[in-house]
Chains A and B, each alone.
Chain A
Amino acid sequence: MAVPITFENVGFTYQPNTPFEVKVLENINLSLPEGKVTAIIGHTGSGKSTLIQHLNVLLKPTKGKVWIDGREISANSDNKQLKSLRKKIGVVFQFPESQLFEETIIKDVMFGPMNFGIEEEEAERIAKEKLALVGIDEELFERSPFDLSGGQMRRVAIAGVLALEPEVLVLDEPTAGLDPKGQFQMLEMFMELQRKKGLTLVLVTHQMDDVAQYADQVVVMEKGQIVKQGKPIEIFADPTWLKEKQLGLPTTLEFLEQLNSALPYDLYQYIEEIPLTVNQLSASIFKLSKLPKV
């Protein structure tokens, strides 16, 4: 279960050598820790989505090399050799519900595995399993995907990607446009899957709370370059820097910032470690307070 992915001086330009040329990525050096969660954050248009299209070779770098599972991918790599890589790396694109097309939900989920040569019965078994995993009722399996609500369509589409049984799972804003409960359930489901199967997970998101809560490694992108890379604690240690990059703070830090500005002294000198989750925050505040211990 290990698919090492490394970027080596990767650059990518759309429509090179034309007046429409757009440089999107420059000088990307990155390696994804296996079996860990990497969050990619950055302002809109910073090249996040282009970067993740390199992960399963939908795009090939115009400069530099990407190493996936020991295979070198550069500008001249042959397309035909790359299909087997795509099975190992599942990508859930933004608004994945737009990829549904089959007559029935189950067929749509089976579509991916069958493209990679899995027998029909086996594909059906996998599809049922994944649909149950994302919380779609069995009675819906034979219905058309277009009868479903937006949230359910999203689940079916995600099941379609999970059905490939990828070893690396890439999520491009998987919860955008879902209600709060749906967002929470969906992310929890992904994280549980990640822990259980030891997946390498890449999460592109604007939700700093999710980054703080789930990520092992954070990559900050700006204008097609990686400007910072490290553990969430290191990334969130400098709120002013983050605001400069037009990125938000996790709610916990937002709260501390406000509390700090209301206090006559610097609160941070009394806090040992920056709290990234609500639990950590309440613990830090509890330590600070001079409440009698219960």
Chain B
Amino acid sequence: MSDKILMGRYIQLESVIHQLDPRTKLMATFYFILIVFLADNLLAYGVLLGLILLAVFLSDIPIGFFLNGLKPMFWIIFFTVIFQVLFTQGGTVYFQLGPMMITSLGLMNGLYIFLRLFLIIMMSTILTLTTAPLELTDGIEHLMRPLTKLGFPSHEVALMLSIALRYVPTLLDEAQTIMNAQRARGVEFDEGSIMDRMKAIIPILVPLFISAFNRAEELATAMEARGYQGAEGRTKYRQLAYGKNDLFALTLLGIVTVLILFLRFY
């Protein structure tokens, strides 16, 4: 099951997009999500779609791969679009049944919702597929740094994030191992009533928590033994640096913004 979910995975390649500074990619993703909501006509969506296609092309990851990754999201998108289509009033009425009707405005809205969801999911998938988890946390830490002045513990948050990300695969492996061990002792995870299935989770959950506690304790001891004392006075091993391509990417986003604003207001 978890094999099929693409979000949150990272594929190591050497593409232009991979080599962008993680801060650029983070900012671009958030910014992109904002301008998706600014767009209000087909032409503007066309521009955004073009941008996404360009990014996919530059990422060296085949597009079929992205579309496959969208499959688990299919039902969510489908339901949202259907509701949008059936319950929006206005414009020419093509079909009516009680409170449900299909109108020209409804169809338009449905299409927009679909495009928005598609664009946002694609963009965030590009972000996670092309950025290693550690780079992401580095980027987040940097971007949050201004908040330190307001008393926000940006280093601690970033540390927790990077440790959490680092342990996701380890814990997944461990969960798998424990699951196997319990299956070998006769636990069935995909059989019986909902109650039975929920009960079958306990023999996984308890050992997993216990091992997480033990791991945390060991990690804390190991960190202290290596002289970790918190944020103050630390230097950085991985230095982030903006390059020429980052400038291009941000400029491109700027141009796209101008285009979209132009299409919206003129």
- Which residues of A come within 8 Å of B, CB atoms? 15, 18-20, 53, 56, 58, 79-80, 83, 86-87, 89-91, 93-94, 96, 98-101, 111-112, 115-116, 146, 160-161, 164
Expressed in whole angstroms, the Cα–Cα distance for A15 and B210 within the complex equals: 29
A113 nearest in chain B by CB position? B186
Tell me which residues across on chain A come within 8 A of B251, comparing CB atoms: none
Docked complex Cα distance between A90 and B188 (Å): 16
Q: Complex formed: what's the CA distance from A218 to B65 in Å?
A: 43
For chain B, the count of residues having a C-beta within 8 Å of the partner chain is 23
Instruction: Point out the residue from A93, A98, A100 that lies within 8 Å of B184, measured CB to CB.
Output: A93
Q: Across the interface, do A164 and B180 meet the contact criterion of CB distance under 8 Å?
A: no
Q: Inside 8 A of A101's CB, which chain B residues have their CB?
A: 202-203, 206-207, 210
Q: A15-B3, A100-B207, A101-B206 are in contact. Are A53 and B180 (CB under 8 A)?
A: yes
Cβ-defined contact, A160 with B185, below 8 A = yes
Q: Is B221 an interface residue (CB 8 A)?
A: no
- B211 engages A98 (CB within 8 Å): yes
B contact residues vs A (CB 8 Å cutoff): 3, 11, 65, 174, 177-178, 180-188, 190-191, 202-203, 206-207, 210-211
Measured CB to CB, the closest approach of chain B to A233, in angstroms, equals 33
Alpha-carbon distance A111/B186, docked complex (angstroms):
9
Chain B residues closer than 8 Å to A160, beta-carbon distance? 185
A161 surroundings in chain B (CB, below 8 A):
184-185
Q: Which residues of A contact B206 (CB under 8 A)?
A: 101
Bound complex: CA A109 to CA B184 (Å): 13
Residues in B with CB closer than 8 Å to A146 are 210
Q: In the complex, are the beta carbons of B181 and A93 less than 8 A apart? A: yes
- Asked whether, in the complex, the Cβ of A58 is within 8 Å of the Cβ of B3, the reply is no
Q: Would A98 and B177 count as touching, CB distance under 8 A?
A: yes
Q: Whole-angstrom distance from the CB of B151 to the nearest CB of chain A?
A: 39
Considering only CB atoms, which chain A residue lies closest to B9 in the complex?
Answer: A20
Return 13 A-B CB contacts under 8 Å, by A number.
Answer: A15-B3, A18-B3, A19-B11, A58-B183, A58-B184, A86-B183, A91-B181, A101-B202, A115-B186, A116-B186, A146-B210, A164-B185, A164-B186
Q: A87, A94, A98 — which one has the most chain B CB atoms within 10 A of its CB?
A: A98
CA gap between A101 and B211 in the complex, in Å: 11
Say whether, besides A99-B178, A111-B203, A90 and B187 are in contact (CB < 8 Å): no
**A26 to B76 Cα, complex, angstroms:** 40
**CB-CB under 8 A for A98 and B3, given A58-B180, A111-B185, A164-B185:** no
Pick from B3, B177, B185, B188: contact of A112, CB under 8 Å: B185
Enumerate the 5 nearest inter-chain pairs by beta-carbon distance, A residue then B residue, closest first.
A115-B186, A101-B206, A112-B185, A99-B181, A91-B184
The CA-CA distance from A115 to B200 in the complex, in Å, is 11
With A53-B180, A58-B180, A101-B202 as contacts: A86 and B174 at CB distance below 8 Å: no
- The smallest C-beta distance from B256 to any residue of chain A, in angstroms, reads 30
Residue in B11, B183, B190, B191 with the greatest tally of chain A CB atoms within 10 Å: B183
Contacts of B181 in A (CB 8 A): 91, 93, 96, 98-99
Residue pair A19, B65 in contact (C-beta under 8 Å) = yes
A20-B3, A98-B177 given; A90·B184 CB < 8 A: yes
Nearest B residue to A160 by beta-carbon distance? Answer: B185
Who on chain B is nearest to A103 by CB?
B206
B183 contact set on A, CB distance < 8 A: 58, 86
Question: Which residue of chain B lies nearest to A93 when distances are taken between CB atoms in the complex?
Answer: B181
Residues of B within 8 A of A83 (CB): 186, 188
- Contact check, A99 vs B186: say whether CB atoms are below 8 A apart: no
Does A115 lie within 8 Å of B3, measured CB to CB?
no
Q: Give A91 to B179 CA distance when docked, in angstroms.
A: 13
In angstroms, Cα B191 to Cα A20, docked, is 29
Bound Cα distance from A146 to B177, whole angstroms: 19
The residue in B65, B181, B202, B206 that gathers the most chain A C-beta atoms within 10 A of its C-beta is B181
CA distance A101 to B185 in the complex (A): 13
- Chain B's nearest CB lies how many Å from the CB of A156? 13
Whether the Cβ atoms of A112 and B186 lie closer than 8 Å is yes
- Minimum CB–CB distance for A86 against chain B, Å: 6
Q: In the complex the two chains form, is B184's CB within 8 Å of A56's CB?
A: yes
Minimal beta-carbon separation of B169 from chain A (angstroms) = 12
Instruction: Give chain B nearest CB distance to A133 CB in angstroms.
Output: 17
**Cα of A258 to Cα of B2 in the assembled complex, Å:** 52
Nearest-Cβ distance from residue B12 to partner chain A, whole angstroms:
11
Report the bound CA distance from A15 to B9 in whole Å. Answer: 14
Expressed in whole angstroms, the minimum distance between the Cβ of B237 and any Cβ of chain A is 28
Residue of A nearest to B205 (CB): A101
> B residues within 8 A CB of A19?
11, 65
B230 CB to nearest A CB, Å: 31
Q: Is the CB of B177 within 8 A of A93?
A: yes
Known: A80-B191, A93-B180. 20 other contacts (CB 8 A): A18-B3, A19-B11, A53-B180, A56-B184, A58-B183, A58-B184, A79-B190, A91-B181, A98-B178, A98-B211, A99-B182, A99-B203, A99-B207, A100-B207, A101-B203, A101-B206, A111-B203, A115-B185, A116-B186, A164-B186
